[in-house]
Structure 1
Amino acid sequence: MARRKEKRTESSLYKARTPSLNDVTAQQPPIQNEERPAASKGFMRKDLARVIAEELHRWAQVVVYALPVLSIIITRNWDIINKTYQLWSSPLPPLSRLRGVFEEAPGTRANAAIVVLARNRDAGEVVHTLKTFEPTFNAKYRYPYVFLNDKDWEPQFKQTIADFLSEVRAVNISVNDTLYLRFGKVKEEHWSWPAHVDKTAALKDMRQMADLGVLHANKESYHHMCRFQSGFFFQHELLKDFKWYWRVEPDVDFFCPLHYDPFMFMESHNKTYGFNIVAPEFMATIPSLGKTVKAYMRERNITSIPPTLKLMWNETTDDYSGFHFWSNFEIGSLDWLRSREYGEFFEYLDATGNFFHERWGDAPVHSVAAGLLLRPDELHYFEDIGYRHADRIHCPIVKEKQGVYGPCECDVEELKRRRVQWGIWAYSDRWMNELKKWQRWAKAYQTPVNLEDKRQAALVGQASDPPPVLP
């Protein structure tokens, strides 16, 4: 018993002398921030550098794999990206913000339609155009819109347009209301390869043109569009009962409110073709057009350059100068385009296959046709309509004119300051000088919109200065 008690006592003493972990921690002096050995620091730096290098390598691999994919996506969608940028950057005038305040103007209407060639994906750009075209003109005059597409129209496109027009005019417009809206599909034979064109050879020529930097040269759809607008749009079933058309494009701006009806003006003054912007063509797109026109003239025994064609003919080289009326804005006679004379001229051009072997556009084709077939006084320059398409803007010289148009939000200099990316070639000094020559030429043949002073109008028509000819 005494021995077991002694053991317990020793055990208790041992436990009492054994400190706990907390006691040991409490008794130890605080750890000083001792310097780590240099070798340890070196290892840490190496570890950190290795981690950074691995991360950089991993991200480099991501970039290497992602860049080709991103490049393909951008290339395939470049048109959409570029047009979206233009859409966001466009300086819409305050008129575009007006809604539901336009009542239909009284008076007689011409047998006319607004013609829009578009695609299903262009709904936003079409609405962009309508934001200014409706307030400046058609919300008051309410001519029907004819939308044409080489594909079937999607219901969403139709509904988007109907909803917008309903909002602007404060009336309920249905997609099936043909009084305001008509949607049609282009015939396949009008948007496909014609039998007389060697498609393989044409595609080769298109690639070569693209390599030389010719815009849109390698886009088959663009060639089809130019041929369709040159020779077929006016044959469409939806336009057969109309006599006049106003061509309107997606993603354009109209700046000046019109207080007259351009269709009625054209009709009452025996005009046939109206335009707004004149421009020089990129000659690489039409290298043989002038020679073809001369060959056509020889076959028709036209021995001298007609007076209207002189405006766009280079007498030094005896060739087409490239001067043309920019056809994205046109107000014209459908009867003229459907005439035998125009049809024969188009068929002659089309037989060459150069809507595909070259990149003949509808603007020079319409312009040369007007030069050959129309008198100067059958053309009209709509100087009073403020208009923008892509990088070119036309602003009226006179912003206010009683009885013609009202407050105009078009100021070229202001637009150049705000949107300089649009102005680089559109406002070159050389081209502005050419435009002034054209304006003097046009003045000799223009019928003033305001005919209050008929004596002055007669004097303008008998201008003594001969019309200048562009080089």
Structure 2
Amino acid sequence: MLVRNSELREALDSIRNVEDRFNRRFRYPWTFLNDEPFTEEFVNYTTGMASGKTNYGLIEPAQWSVPDYIDKKKIEEGMENMVSKNVIYGGSLSYRNMCRYNSGFFYRHPIVNQYRWYWRVEPGVQFYCDQLYDPFSFMRENGKVYGFVMAMYEYLLTIETLWDSTKEFVRNHPQYLAANNSLDFFVDNSEPSKEGDKEFDGDYNLCHFWSNFEIADLDFWRSPAYSDYFDFLDRKGGFFYERWGDAPVHSLAAGLFLPKSAIHHFGDIGYRHPPYARCPQDEESHQSGRCYCARDAHFDDDGYSCLPRWWNVAGMNRGAGPKGQH
């Protein structure tokens, strides 16, 4: 969890949710990261609520600040432009630091380095269903690398040059493009690009996996493909000049550098991150009492959701659990 001291109440809400629904049975450790030292109050309360070990890490200032090679005047101009267009977080430098950190640095933190897998939990989220199996074991045993719950469209004004930059990177590094990748999730009417191809046509449709929930293999972010991709994007400056989010960056990397079969939709997880929520649709999850949420009011069928597109291109259905999705 990337969290501030001022978000203690929201952090405890999320921890309570995860502990009650899942972790009290598995007792996995919690890791908290902050760009300022954690207060004694934060440490005491979060440690008291967690069933497993707790780790507290301080983010290096260089990883939460504007690099020397970035034009600060250009940042100000871009922020002013976004504020004038009412883009959410358009005028926030802190938000840009957070997106850059989640894109390129959290997995390098010394505390995180000891782990192979992670479940990203945001402050102030809710989980509606008991998690009865271990998702880390499921991912590992089934060859999965990246797992998500919701998918949606990104704001075009925040990533206007991200797709062109991504295509440029792939032209320079065609060896990283996976066979049977997910290009057809990101580009309408596209044939999946094959390993070794240097070019792919089409415009980005803005679909991405919503990264406030992720269960993934940290070794993917540590791989040469992703490391080179992040370094390339970082030098482009779009994290600051625009407002590139870690969600589209993670999504494009996973979708292009991994085979489609390595990406998993957790259809059995009920989850809410304001303002959106999703609820498993199968009868068993509700009759058994495993889930408690409104099936008739959830994000899967929202016009802003990209999940139906993922089901179509990945050959998955709306099944509730792992067996129903493969």
**TM-score (normalised: structure 1):** 0.62
Conserved 8 A contact 2:268-2:321:
no
Question: 1:442 is matched with which residue?
Answer: 314
Question: 2:43 is matched with which residue?
Answer: 158
Question: 1:185 is matched with which residue?
Answer: 58
Question: 2:240 is matched with which residue?
Answer: 356
Q: 1:370 is matched by which residue type in structure 2? A: A
Residue 347 (1) aligns with residue 219 (2): no
Distance 1:441 1:388 in 2: 25
How do 1:181-220 and structure 2 match up within 5 A? 181-220=54-93
Residue 333 (1) aligns with residue 217 (2): yes
Distance 2:179 2:322 in 1: 32
The partner residue of 2:128 within 255, 262, 277 is 255
How do 1:230-249 and structure 2 match up within 5 A? 230-249=103-122
Distance 1:364 1:374 in 2: 15
Distance 2:180 2:67 in 1: 31
Question: 1:50 is matched with which residue?
Answer: none
Question: 1:381 is matched with which residue?
Answer: 265
**How big is each residue's C-alpha offset from its partner over 1:383-425, in whole Å with a ceiling of 9 and x where there is no partner?**
10000001110111214259xx852102143xx5xxxxxx8xx
Q: 2:311 is matched by which residue type in structure 1? A: Q
How many residues in Structure 1 have an aligned counterpart in Structure 2? 314
Conserved 8 A contact 2:12-2:46:
yes
Q: 2:218 is matched by which residue type in structure 1? A: L
Q: 1:153 is matched by which residue type in structure 2? A: F
Question: 2:291 is matched with which residue?
Answer: 408
Partner SS for 1:355: helix
Conserved 8 A contact 1:306-1:371:
no
Partner SS for 1:189: helix
Conserved 8 A contact 1:387-1:395:
yes
Conserved 8 A contact 1:274-1:382:
yes
Question: 1:393 is matched with which residue?
Answer: 277
Q: 1:449 to 1:398 in 2, by over 3 A?
A: closer
**How big is each residue's C-alpha offset from its partner over 1:107-155, in whole Å with a ceiling of 9 and x where there is no partner?**
xxxxxxxxx0000000000111122211110111111000000001110
Q: What displacement does 1:241 show?
A: 1.3
Conserved 8 A contact 2:279-2:294:
yes
Q: 1:203 to 1:249 in 2, by over 3 A?
A: same
Q: What displacement does 1:445 show?
A: 9.2
Question: 2:204 is matched with which residue?
Answer: 320
Does 1 or 2 have the higher relative contact order (CA < 8 Å, sep 6+)?
Answer: 2
Distance 1:384 1:320 in 2: 28
The partner residue of 2:12 within 116, 127, 131 is 127
Distance 2:86 2:312 in 1: 34
Question: 1:299 is matched with which residue?
Answer: 172
Larger radius of gyration: 1
**TM-score (normalised: structure 2):** 0.89
Query: Unaligned stretches of 5+ in structure 1?
Result: 1-115, 170-178, 417-422, 452-456, 462-471
Partner SS for 2:208: strand
Conserved 8 A contact 2:280-2:295:
no
Distance 1:253 1:128 in 2: 8
Q: 1:395 is matched by which residue type in structure 2? A: C
Residue 279 (1) aligns with residue 152 (2): yes
Question: 2:143 is matched with which residue?
Answer: 270
Distance 2:159 2:215 in 1: 24
